[in-house]
Amino acid sequence: WLFHIHKKIKEGWLEFDTAMATPDMMSKVGRLGKILGRRPKPGPGQPGDEPGVDYLETEIELEELIEMMLQDLGLPNLKQKEVREAVIPKGWTFDSIEKHGIRPRLDKKRSIKEAIKRTEVLVSQLMRETGRNEAECRAALGLAEGDMVKAAGLLESPGPMPEAGDSSEIRLKSSDLRFRTLTEDIEYQSNAVVIAMMDVSGSMGTMKKYIARSFFFWMLSFLKTIYKTVDIRFIAHTTEAKLVDEHEFFHKGESGGTQCYSAYDLASELIDAEYPTARWNVYPFHFSDGEDWDVDRTIQSLKSVMDRGVATFGYGEIQTEYSASVLMEALRKDLSLKKFGQNGLVFFEGEWSKSPLLG
């Protein structure tokens, strides 16, 4: 849980400008403040001279909270923008009729209907031109095998009409034939996957992992308001990377050094095998303390991930007073990232292969 508080508050009887609640305050790290008083013990007490605190308690849906955050931050409503959609084949369907086609797609019922309509038009025309009755005109048209000129000649010749065959017989002409057209039936789905990567070496302590986890929670919640399906995959790394489950990702630490390229190489393999960017909106995000042992190779591996056409690549660097911004500084120089800051946070943005990179 993260709380964004604009004004000074009294939290735990200390004066803070902002407050952040950690899962169990396990880090015990915070800013020292002025002690305003002690929390009274339960039970009856003496009358006090300090003002009371009024508060309102309410419930709010996560989606509504995200919307409020976007408005507060001045971000656009991304729902109104186009997102890459996956094309899912569902088979084939007959969706239209044409006058030309191949025999296997002949629509017999529609073809017969067209022949009947044509015959009725010709019979009516013969009746008007010759003055004969319907039965005679229909019989003459049958004897003439549908030829209008021959049928008119038979009707205008003296003497009785020759015996006609079955007047209900329908003669098909090439102009009567109708063919069905096949169209592939597809479904459009907007899917996204977050590839969460994190350095789990000994320098990434509990608080750093908590910050990363908080970020991924809000990121996933936000993306679920945009996409129909959102997956998340976890890659943990030191000098080697591996796919892990969520619990191991946030709770297991290892000793050893840090080579971030191992995570990026594994992310590229995962994209190629399971999440091709033609069908998925891919969001690789990586958290580290920046102490990378092979920066040049890491940058090349990062570019390889972005060359695959990911939606956005994100890199978060959690520093302490004892750590150096090795990787972030290298990325800033190599990719010409723009730097800006607000409220004590430093942000970087740029792009590679037309994909945005945020830091």
Secondary structure (DSSP) of 304-350: HHHHT--S-EEEEE---TT---HHHHHHHHHTT-EEEEETTEEEEEE
Nearest 5°: the CA angle 168, 170, 176 is 150
Amino acid at 114: E
Domain coordinates of the chain in residue numbers?
1-37, 92-181, 190-358
Q: Which residues pair with 237 in a beta bridge?
A: 199, 241
Cβ atoms of 269 and 304 closer than 8 Å: no
Which residue, 246, 242, 293, is CA-closest to 267? Answer: 242
123/169 Cα distance (integer angstroms): 14
Q: What is the pLDDT of residue 56?
A: 46
Tokens 């709010």 correspond to what residue?
Answer: 60
Element (H, E) at 271: helix 261-274
| Range 132-151 burial, b when 16+ CB lie within 10 A, else e | beeebbbbbbbbbebeeeeb
Q: What is the pLDDT of residue 13?
A: 34
Cβ atoms of 315 and 285 closer than 8 Å: yes
The CA radius of gyration of the chain, in Å to the nearest whole number, is 38
What region, left, alpha or beta, does residue 346 occupy, with left being phi > 0 and alpha being psi -120 to 50 degrees? beta
Nearest 5°: the CA angle 148, 151, 157 is 140
Instruction: State how far the alpha carbon of 213 is from the alpha carbons of 76, 182, 227, in Å.
Output: 25, 49, 21
What tokens were used for 264? 């990026």
Residue 267, C-beta contacts closer than 8 angstroms, at least 6 positions apart: 195, 197, 235, 284, 305
What tokens were used for 317? 């660097």
Q: What is the pLDDT of residue 270?
A: 94
Cβ atoms of 149 and 172 closer than 8 Å: no
227/84 Cα distance (integer angstroms): 10
Give the pTM.
Answer: 0.53
Which residue, 111, 163, 121, is CA-closest to 142? Answer: 163
Cβ atoms of 287 and 215 closer than 8 Å: yes
348/338 Cα distance (integer angstroms): 5
Residues composing the chain? 359
Topology annotation, domain 190-358: Rossmann fold (3.40.50)
Cβ atoms of 183 and 162 closer than 8 Å: no
SS3 category, 39:
coil
What tokens were used for 32? 């020292």
Q: Which residues pair with 185 in a beta bridge?
A: 91
pLDDT in tens, the chain (359 residues): 333 333 333 333 333 333 333 333 333 444 444 444 444 555 555 555 555 554 445 455 656 665 665 555 444 444 444 455 556 666 666 667 878 787 878 888 888 888 888 888 888 888 888 888 888 888 888 887 778 888 888 877 776 665 655 556 677 888 888 888 877 777 666 778 889 898 887 777 777 777 877 887 777 777 777 777 788 898 988 888 899 988 888 777 776 678 889 999 999 999 999 998 888 888 899 988 877 888 899 999 999 999 999 988 988 887 765 555 678 888 888 888 787 776 667 777 787 777 777 76
269/235 Cα distance (integer angstroms): 12
Residue 106 DSSP code:
B
